[in-house]
Amino acid sequence: MNTWHRLAQHVDEQRSGATLTNVQSSLLRRLRRAADLGVCDRAVQGWFTTEADQLTLSNAAPAGPSRRPAIPLHNLEHLVDGAYLTLGVTFDRSRRRVEEYSIQLRGSRRIPCSTPWYARVDLDRVARGIGPCSHAVLHTHVGTTPENDDVPSDGGERKRFSTRVPTPWLSPADALDWLLAVADRRFEPAQPEPR
Amino acid sequence: MSASTGDLLTRLGGHDPVVIVFYRDHDSQTDLLELCELLAPSGAPTLRSGAVEDAFRGEYKNTILLVTPADEVSAVRTLDGRREQLLDREAPAILFLLQGGSAESFYNTDAPALASIVRGLTYDPEPPPIETDLARRRAEFRQKHDRTPSEWVRAWRNDELPDTADNNLVAHEAWTLRTR
């Protein structure tokens, strides 16, 4: 077994044991902290809903640019106001595991010409792509916009190019930690106490 | 029945005397207790209690009571039989009942007085799937995306669709709705 298959196995083992409500509470705790820092609306805690084992944002949340509910973000260190989060987490209730998730932060950077920027963490339900190295089951995207990133490299053939950075296990709340900490250092999780 | 945290928030901060939360198993009951404490209004007193009689005690009428009785059927019967006393409550008593358990059945068929004050104020984030809902959602999916959920999943797995956040979320829905 090579590194990439071991990584896939590690992620597969770690995604078990989570419950929908527990994951929802973990996400809400992070977002309440974001609200305390003036980064999102305090009403965010009422914007979650579930349907058929899918945890998503409800229509109570404002619509994002694609008309899908999104969490608008303000006062982030590196992104201009109007950035937003989208998210979805799906569970397998019988196996008590996170089946898949996708959490994205998208906005424009606080630099001249305000370059579009996004970062996303995706946990795929099953292996996709040509293999676990280029398309690890849990991976991050970072780039300008996914629409510009994920395009064929040539004129005729469908050879999609999208940079997926493999990561070890991140729970949905860990993924949110990462996205927020990248955009604003106030979200860097506290250091553990030295032993 | 609601699965919205917005509805749960409203109920935790409201003055309805009783709200029912359905849980799937012991672990989910624990998680839901923590969720209620997390979403309770800041500064509002909350108390976990195994005794349904606490819902009638004057000193707890302003306390959000999280009631997890050992005998759920008996708790429903008690609340149903003492409806008038519940109306004095200023903060809700949140009654936790096992989803699909005998207490839920008893509540639906034999507790009209309690049902009249609960008025559908129930929260269940993981309701059992209902086939008619699935059929409706499959039809809506096809109309919206011009493919059946199974067709979407096939195209997604074959990398025929752009790997955007929206498409990831649509893929989640398609997996849930696909027919094998």
Closest alpha carbon within chain B to A145? B164
* Percent of chain A's residues with pLDDT above 70: 91
A160·B164 Cβ contact <8 A: no
Structure-token pair, residue A157? 């053939």
User: Which of A50, A60, A162 has the CB atom closest to B3's CB atom?
Assistant: A50
Report the candidate in B42, B79, B97, B84 with the shortest Cα–Cα distance to residue B64: B42
pLDDT at A115: 80
Instruction: Give residue-wise pLDDT tens across range A163-185.
Output: 899 999 999 999 999 999 999 99
Instruction: Give residue-wise pLDDT tens across range A89-132.
Output: 999 988 889 999 999 999 999 998 888 899 999 999 988 888 89
**pLDDT band (50, 70, 90) for residue A158:** low
A86·B165 Cβ contact <8 A: yes
- Residue A144 to residue A142: CA distance in whole angstroms: 7
Check pLDDT > 60 for residue B75. yes
User: Which of A24, A128, A158 has the CB atom closest to B35's CB atom?
Assistant: A24
Chain-centroid distance, C-alpha B75: 18
Check pLDDT > 90 for residue B52. yes
Query: Is the minimum CB–CB distance between A41 and chain B shorter than 8 Å?
Result: no
The Cα angle at residue B130 between residues B126 and B131, in degrees rounded to 5: 145
Closest alpha carbon within chain A to B154? A128
Check pLDDT > 60 for residue A153. no
- Residue A106 to residue B34: CA distance in whole angstroms: 30
**Assigned architecture for domain B5-123:** 3-Layer(aba) Sandwich (3.40)
Query: Is the minimum CB–CB distance between A74 and chain B shorter than 8 Å?
Result: no
pLDDT at A150: 54
- Residue A41 to residue A34: CA distance in whole angstroms: 8
What residue segments make up the domains of chain A, in order of their start?
3-187
Mean pLDDT of chain B: 93
Instruction: Compute the average pLDDT of residues B80-100.
Output: 95
What residue segments make up the domains of chain B, in order of their start?
5-123, 131-177
pTM: predicted TM-score of the whole model, two decimal places: 0.92
Of the ranges A142-156, B48-62, B142-156, which one carries the lowest mean pLDDT score? A142-156
Residues in chain B within 8 Å Cβ distance of A29? 38
| A152 Cα to chain B: minimum distance (Å) | 10
Check pLDDT > 90 for residue B160. no
**pLDDT band (50, 70, 90) for residue A148:** low
